[in-house]
Structure 1
Amino acid sequence: MRSRFTPVLSVPLCIGINLIFLKISQSVCFESSVITEINSNMSISNEEAIKQLQHLMENLDEQKKNTFQNMHHGYPTETLVRFLKARDGNVAKAHQMLIDCLQWRVENDIDNVLAKPIPPDLYRGLRDSQLVGMSGFTKEGVPVIVVGVGLSTLDEVFDKYYVQSHIQMNEYRDRVILPTATKNHGQYIGTCVKVLDMTGLKLSALNQLRLLTSISTIDDLNYPEKTDAYYIVNAPYVFSACWKVVKPLLQERTRRKVHVLKGCGKEELLKVMDYASLPHFCRKGGSRLPRDYATGNTENCFSFDHVFHQQLYNYIKQQAILMESISPIRHGSFHVDLPEPDPADAKIAKTIETEFHKLESHNGLANEQNGLVVHFSCSVKPGES
């Protein structure tokens, strides 16, 4: 599969942002001076760009037309706007990005990924090590995605399943969660907000660079502009030091998306969502020990036993049964080509690496790594998993 590079500084930022922010999406938007927003993020001054992109999309072959329908779920214009934003309003670049995305979907059978369940025993292991889930909705009806950045312990044994699970969550969000939210709220909802828990964040987590960079690159290229805001909670000194050096490298509109909250962020988050949608790690002042994320806790947003993950997994099983009635499939069989990350990420990773060396020298944080060698190489060959 050919490499596809984003033309500007991409966010997330390798592991410094990939793990610390996990996935602060690339936030390349139209300049505010030319935007007059109407309805679903359309702008009067950019209606012509949308029309041009719509015209270009009329020439799709049958496979790409079908997968595009599965992408937009009845909101094709809003989908085109997202890709235009991701390419700063450049119609030609947005069109190429969208064509590449559709080709990626066709080549990797993304339309059927929700009919390929991961074996239950493996899925539970994924949920215990890749801490991600959904806690509810904001007061505006936007889904609240939660990520346990600090205590995620990604095991390379599950690498291909982490990628599969991540794409399944993206597709479930886009095909089930967001359409349901749109219907319930009476207006189009096509994005989410994310609450990132930094509890337990250590430098040793940097060893997960390659996998997380690959996952985030998949998001940047194929699911652009899907996150409105990132709320950072329970941030330790390691995060603060990293954020200090990374923040100046980001675009202003991206910086506006990131909100670093005091402590567990409970008071600030309650302005955005009701208590029922507040993540479990924000209700009790943060999760301080790994056992707080233990299996079997139905209040834990990350647990396989949480209602979100139960509904997601049951949906995938049901889709698999429907698919098998048409054409037998092999459960758990899934492979996706991993794109190469933006070379600009390597520069930022190097900046973070330099900062960590300073931390080691001045704060004795080398002991925290316990002899770990941190590799900042962002190179992932296409097809490697």
Structure 2
Amino acid sequence: MSGKIANNLGSLPVVFESGNGSVLTDINGKTYIDFVSGIGVNCLGHNHPALTKAIAEQAKKIIHVSNYYNSDKGLAFSEKLLERTGMDRVYFCNSGAEANENAIKIARKCGSLSDKKDGKAEGTRHTIVALVKSFHGRTVTTLSATGQDIFHNPVFAPYTPGFRYIPANDYDALKDAFDGTVCALLLECVQGEGGVNMIDRDWALAACAAARKAGAVVIADEVQTGIGRTGTFLASEALGINPEIISLAKGIAGGVPMGATLFRGVAAESIVAGDLQTTFGGNPLACAAGLVVLDELAKPGFLSAVTEKGDYIRSKIASWNLPCIKNIRGRGLMMGFDIDRPSRDIQKICLDMAGDGKPGLCISTAGANTLRFLPPLVITEKEIDTGLEILYTVLNQ
């Protein structure tokens, strides 16, 4: 089967048509254990009964009204999400990049409002401090915020100015990072695309303290780490950083495209009509799906099980004692490790294991030699063991 989809990362040679739980099925009837979940999107797996029921029922009522108006599902979802996160306001959008764009806009507005002379905003407090090895999206501005040169392709230049980068977990870098031009610190609580890099809690607290001392707000990019992925509803909870702005997407609606930017304190108070707008954001279909996600994650033991499953996977891989594997890391069901061969090759070989009644394995990469796992949060131990058995076989070939 061929198509006319624009080339992106070079799609792998498989075409999926259905899924159930953490198992995908392609058009030839081959099955695959899913350790990717749509890059952390399908948090409740595939064909989740409560999720599919809610989507089907909402589709029969109303799918879209635009944010000129409110919907019953939009109001219900906003109230429940804010209650769960302790934030003051939420703005719904369509993707993680858009959620981060909104965060950047409002952070710069906060900086302008705090930098007034004779009652007028000076506009000099607009710099955003981001981290080396970060990733915040693929729009021109979110690429600018991304602290990886590999993403700064000169053919897309000029990039949005006003960003500087400091290494994570480097205390010396904090000494001169925050001056009178800085309006925000932007960080991922675990760096996903940058290689599943862990952020030290004490350093994160010190960085946030330095930012706030300089009059800046803190933005937590929780596009990949949020919605239970790391074993707490938000990864920023584990770091204890209490951001003024949070961006969410990926798993927020269980597979229906959706993003959200959450605000509290001065960031929430700064927003007026016209600052943010989007056509599809907060449509009732996505909000109906999001309500199911919140309800499922709130069930007793759900998030602790995410932590337990992640610990189990990492300990199992460590127990293999394979010389080709090093630096196993992660939190909850967001994890990665380095290998001594191209990660893209291993990704394809794991797919090719499907056939003769045996499943293949879907895995992700986060760098030339880093494998990344983002399985559905509902993955079973049996599915985990089957997937790891495939990986073990491939790495021993």
| Structure ID, larger Rg | 2
TM-score, length-scaled by structure 1: 0.26
